[in-house]
Amino acid sequence: MAENARKLSNVLLSGNEAIARGAWEAGARLGSGYPGTPSSEILPALVELGDVYCEWSVNEKVALEVAAGASVAGARCLVTMKHVGVNVAADPLFTMSYTGVEGGIVIISADDPSMHSSQNEQDNRNYARAAKVPMLEPADSQEARDQTMRAFELSEEFDTPVFVRPVTRICHSDGLVEVGERQVVELRGEMAKQPEKFVMVPAHARKRRVTMSERTQRLIELAEESDLNREEMGDESVGIIASGVAYQYAKEAFPGASFLKLGMVWPLPPERIRQFASKVGRLFVVEELDPFLTEQILAMGVHVEPVDESFRIGELTPGRVREMIGGAAMPQAAPDADLPPRPPTLCAGCPHRSVFVGLRKLKAYVTGDIGCYTLGTLPPLQALHTCLCMGAGINEAHGIQKVRGHEAPVVAVIGDSTFTHSGITGLVNIAYNAGVSTVVILDNRTTAMTGGQVHPGIGETLSGLPGRELDFEKLALAIGIEDVRVVDPYEMAETEQAIREAMANPQPSVVIARRACVLDVRERGPAPVLDEEKCIHCGLCVRIGCPALFDAAGEGEKTLPRIDAVLCNGCTMCVQVCPVDALVVPAAGEGDA
Amino acid sequence: MVTNVLLTGVGGQGIITASTILSQACRLAGWEVKKSEVHGMSQRGGSVNSYVRFSPDQPIASPLIPEGEADVMVAFEPLEALRQIAEVTPEGALLVEERRIVPVTVNLPGFSYPDDVLDRLQATGRDVQVIRASETAVALGEPRAANSVMLGALSILLELPDEAWGEAMGLVLKPKAVEVNMHAFEAGRELVGAQSGAG
């Protein structure tokens, strides 16, 4: 009973909520970041806890620099981003390692092994070593909270930003967490002017570089002693060094083995690792993605059992760890090969589907961007042909047309949030360098793919307060784009015509397709009804790729459109593409909607 | 003993809400619990899996259910049940929502929604119960409560105290949605009770 009573005092938190909790308890004064799966829920959870100024910054570089300022002013700051966001923030990051901090700075790098919702699976532990910034890696929600608090202390004690690196299976896993109250942490220092610390001109930076090396040495000493790293001795014939969620998979697969569980993955404790190695028979390192620990441990002169290269790709699982260490074959899932896959799709009623229907008709080569709109690449739309990183599509279109000319039917598409994140500079570049490209901004009034966060185009901030709304039309004009059009993408013919004209214009152009994300709109129209007599089975309606509309015909038969009235949003795009008016919107009171 | 429940279906069906209610019920019962799922792209109408692992008496390491070790699968869509069937132990139980959601890929050459999904599930030898969750929820006037019908059915297979379920629903759901979801939950219990003839 007593045990149960103890547990009842715990709360159930996702890793993301636990990170927010840790920052709140540690007395953070500022939270900044840019949404990105799997990190997006951290700042909203921090806002909910209260007492902390939080903002969605325009991008990750901005977020980190805002924190740099608040840190100079003596505040503890939490900065959140997904792994690829760290690429955007890398410029300030590398030099902040030189300047260090005043108030503690904790940077959350939420990595996404297996790319559940990302364009690559880069292993951001490499950033810790490259920037010489210590990194903690939580293995569950409790550690996510505890390590975040600890990271603030380390940041101030060692005068450095500190990384905490959760992965998708930590961010989006829930577990029981013992929590505490918020600490009162005063602003540190008096904002004394310290040019040798904060002005990184070569003369100053050279001195700081030496300080960094001394800091790393002291961090290694900490790693040797700290309870962030721990030994769990069991069967000594097999020793496993692991951290983060990989530790949990290894523990699940080999509960009886001996473990050296690392909570700090950079820098490592060489003596502790050598000691552990000397106590066990075969030594394995279980880690997701790069051989980051493995290579450092090998460099210490410690023998580690080799692991097949295939285990360096994608996230691990208990079964994969069994296979990796024990050679046990995975229970083969034998999935039925004939099952139709169910990839993510643009939602039923997504207003911006029409842009892709139009671009497909115009046979455009479409340079795309990050977000929901990458889904335009999937069949049957197949109307998006590049996706590299935030903001890239605009610049790729410009590059293509600089070598292929205006005749190349190229269109860049970008979402509204992505445009503010890193599309604006590309548009300036096009105007400045006499570009000719057409850029379509799919303005759904939100950051949709990551769960619907606000951004500068909305005029509302993360804390729900009004913010100055960025006017895309005026911005484009100010940049020097003279051909700016605004369309309602629910009007399919008008949308297609606007893009067609913009493409024909030898000057650069911007088309803003503006309509709110269907997930943010409660009203819906009735589902259309098929007039079987009129239908000519042409398949045009099915080819818009709406998840509420499917072809019930067997293989080789003529299209037989069927509408799932529960999923249908009543957007009427299928009605608009039907050449014979066989799809009819029932008048109010009719139909089953 | 650790119990592993796999909830599977299509993004937008309320699977994450259902798995959160289950996890909270476990916490309220004083049990250890871990839950895992992915957000973001996979929620845009794609296949979604949520893993819930709990135990009255032992710690839980992996947030993912080890391959092939799900004791119960709650499938919100028949095709998704078939896609994940190998994750369930041979002795495992399946609760399968009857209503199909046809994936857009059937519009492509070479794919169709198989007619024999339930037969194929039953042919695996596992205990399969078909739950008319959407139909039941629609009859209650709230189609979005289908996930609570499924949870009610699940509650028959687990040994969680009734009050933990009720309290968990109160914690997770918006206040105005609680009552109809409680009705849906009860209806789900009755659906299974009627089929198995036992409580």
- DSSP output for A40-67: TTHHHHHHHH-SSEEEE-SSHHHHHHHH
A535 and A513 together in one domain: no
Write the CATH number for A269.
Answer: 3.40.50.920
Question: Both A384 and A251 in a single domain?
Answer: no
Give the best residue of A1, A342, A381 to mutate against chain B (max B CB count within 10 A): A342
A281 and A158 housed in the same domain: no
Q: Are residues A175 and A127 part of one domain?
A: yes
A564 contacts B67? CB cut-off 8 A: no
Residue A8 three-state SS: helix
pLDDT for B110: 83
In a domain, A335, yes or no: no
Is the ipTM higher than 0.85? The answer is: yes
For residue B16, which residues of chain A lie inside 8 Å, CB to CB?
none
- Which residues, numbered 539 to 578 in chain A, qualify as contacts with chain B under a Cβ-Cβ cut-off of 8 Å? 542-543, 545-547, 550-551, 554-555, 562, 564, 566-567
What is the reported pLDDT for B198? 41
Q: Do A258 and A279 touch, CB atoms closer than 8 A?
A: yes
How far apart are the C-alpha atoms of A108 and B87, rounded to whole Å? 33
Q: What are A462-495's pLDDT values in tens digits?
A: 999 999 999 999 999 999 999 999 999 999 999 9
pLDDT at residue A31, as a whole number: 98
What's CA A272's distance to the chain center, in Å? Answer: 35
B134–A566 C-beta distance less than 8 A: yes
Residue B36: domain span = 3-196
Residue with tokens 């028979």: A281
> Taking 50 as the threshold, does the pLDDT of residue A222 lie above it?
yes
A342 min Cα distance to partner chain B (Å): 5
Q: Rounded to 5 degrees, what are φ and ψ at B36? A: -145, 140
Select the more confidently predicted residue: B110 or A159: A159
In the listed set A225, A245, A272, which residue is the last one of a domain according to the structure? Answer: A225
pLDDT in tens, B50-75: 999 999 999 999 999 999 999 999 99
Does A162 lie in the same domain as A284?
A: no
B59 within 8 A of A140, measured Cβ to Cβ = no
Q: What's the total number of domains in chain A?
A: 4
CB pairs under 8 A between A and B: 185
Same domain, A31 and A150: yes
Measured between beta carbons, which residues in chain A are less than 8 angstroms from residue B80? 342
Name the pLDDT band for B39 (thresholds 50, 70, 90).
confident
Is A26 in the same domain as A77?
Answer: yes
A592 has a pLDDT exceeding 50: no
Residue B44: predicted pLDDT? 75
Residues of B in contact with A234 (CB under 8 A): none
Of the three residues A164, A192, A225, the one that is the final residue of a domain is A225
Closest CA relative to residue A327, chosen from A276, A243, A254: A254
pLDDT tens string A289-316: 999 999 999 999 999 999 999 999 999 9
Alpha helices in A141-268 (DSSP H): 141-158, 168-171, 195-198, 202-225, 244-253
pLDDT at A337 over 80: no
Mean of the per-residue pLDDT values of chain B: 93
Residue B197 confidence (pLDDT): 43
Residue A1 lies in a domain: no
Considering the domain architecture, whether residues A257 and A181 belong to the same structural domain is answered as no
pLDDT 10s digits, A54-112: 999 999 999 999 999 999 999 999 999 999 999 999 999 999 999 999 999 999 999 99
pTM of the model: 0.96
- Helix boundaries (H) for A382-471: 392-404, 416-418, 424-432
CB A508 within 8 A of CB A431: yes
Least confident among A182-186, A552-556, B9-13, B77-81: A552-556
Report the CATH number that the domain containing residue B22 is assigned in CATH: 3.40.920.10
Model confidence at A167, in pLDDT bands (50, 70, 90)? very high
Of A12, A172, A546, the CB nearest to B24: A12
Q: Please check whether residues A462 and A382 belong to one and the same domain.
A: yes
- From A170, A317, A564, residue closest to B102, measured CB to CB: A564
Q: What is the pLDDT of residue B45?
A: 81
Q: Which residues of B touch A566 (CB under 8 A)?
A: 134, 143
CATH of the domain at A570: 3.30.70.20
pLDDT, tens only, A105-163? 999 999 999 999 999 999 999 999 999 999 999 999 999 999 999 999 999 999 999 99
The whole-angstrom separation of Cα A388 and Cα A453 is 22
pLDDT of res. A555 = 73
A240 interface with B at CB cutoff 8 Å = no
Residue A431's domain is classified under what CATH number? 3.40.50.970
A470 domain residue, yes or no: yes
Instruction: Give the confidence band of A6 by pLDDT, cuts at 50, 70, 90.
Output: very low
Kindly report the nearest CA distance between residue A330 and chain B, in angstroms: 8
Query: For residue A501, what pLDDT is reported?
Result: 98
A451 to B39: CB separation less than 8 angstroms, yes or no: yes
Q: Which of A552, A312, A351 is nearest to A446 (CA)?
A: A351
The whole-angstrom distance between A308's CA and the closest CA on chain B is 20
Phi, psi angles (nearest 5°) of residue A329 = -70, 140
Residue A9: which pLDDT band, with cuts at 50, 70 and 90?
low
**pLDDT, average across residues A438-452:** 94
How far apart CA A140 and CA A247 sit, in angstroms, is 10
Range B123-132 average pLDDT: 96
pLDDT for the residue A338: 80
Position B199 scores a pLDDT of 38
- Provide Rg for chain B, Cα atoms: 16
| A500 and A536 both lie in a single domain | no
Q: Give B10→chain A minimum CA distance, Å.
A: 8
> A493 and A358 share a domain?
yes
More confident residue, A338 or B156: B156
A517 touches chain B (CB under 8 A): no
Domain match, A197 and A139 both: yes
Q: What is the mean pLDDT of residues B114-134?
A: 95
Domain-located, residue A344: no
Q: A38 to chain B: which residues are within 8 Å by CB?
A: 38-40
Q: Which of B107, B142, B147 to mutate to test the interface with A (most CBs of A within 10 A)?
A: B107
Binned at pLDDT 50, 70 and 90, residue B196 comes out as low
Give backbone dihedrals phi and psi of A514, rounded to 5 degrees, phi first: -115, 115
Asked if A9 has any chain B CB less than 8 Å from its own CB, the reply is: no
- Is A88 within the bounds of a domain? yes
Cβ-proximal residues to A299 (8 Å cutoff; 6+ apart), any chain? none
Q: Is the residue at A436 inside a domain?
A: yes
Give the pLDDT score at A336: 66
Residues of A in contact with B68 (CB under 8 A): 319, 331, 333
Confidence of residue B108 (pLDDT cuts 50, 70, 90): confident
Structural domain range at position A568:
522-593
Using CB atoms, which residue from B20, B28, B107 is nearest to A551?
B107
Is residue A3 assigned to a domain? no
Over pLDDT 90: what percentage of chain A? 91
Of B24, B42, B66, the CB nearest to A116: B42
Q: Which of B38, B102, B112 sits opposite A554 (nearest CB)?
A: B112
Mutation test of the interface with chain B: which of A339, A519, A569, choosing the one with the most B Cβ atoms within 10 A? A339
**Amino acid at residue number B76:** F
The total of structural domains in chain B comes to 1
